[in-house]
Amino acid sequence: QKEVEQNSGPLSVPEGAIASLNCTYSDRGSQSFFWYRQYSGKSPELIMSIYSNGDKEDGRFTAQLNKASQYVSLLIRDSQPSDSATYLCAVSDTGTASKLTFGTGTRLQVTL
């Protein structure tokens, strides 16, 4: 059974701080990794994808991947109240995103 684990939270950070979201996965054959953001009552939207070890930056977001440790993380710099949402980690065992296994998500609260 392939698993993707996330701390359900809530993770509470003050506005302007760095939010760090973590995810571990069980399948060593996993090759593609994604972070989705889901606001309450809304659908998931992709914010980052990462395929190789190291860091990938996009604006205030940085995804980090360590395949040896089977660990992927998302850093959000200068957190804003609008970042308050549930962040879903998703993993694919092929080089494509055709079959994603999702974690249960981490709820992030950015406080004023």
Partner 1 sequence: DTAVSQTPKYLVTQMGNDKSIKCEQNLGHDTMYWYKQDSKKFLKIMFSYNNKELIINETVPNRFSPKSPDKAHLNLHINSLELGDSAVYFCASSRDRGETQYFGPGTRLLVL
Q: List own/partner pairs for 64-67 with CB under 8 A and 24 or more apart.
A: 65/33, 67/28, 67/30
Closest to partner 1 by CB, 71 or 102: 102
Closest to partner 1 by CB, 76 or 103: 103
Contact 61, 80 (CB under 8 A): no
Q: Give first-to-last CA distance, the chain, whole Å.
A: 40
The residue ranges that bind partner 1 (CB under 8 A) are 38, 42-46, 49, 86, 88, 94-102, 104-105
Least Cβ distance, residue 34 to partner 1 (angstroms): 8
Across-strand partners of 45?
Answer: 37
Contact 108, 21 (CB under 8 A): yes
Least Cβ distance, residue 16 to partner 1 (angstroms): 27
Least Cβ distance, residue 67 to partner 1 (angstroms): 19
Closest to partner 1 by CB, 66 or 94: 94
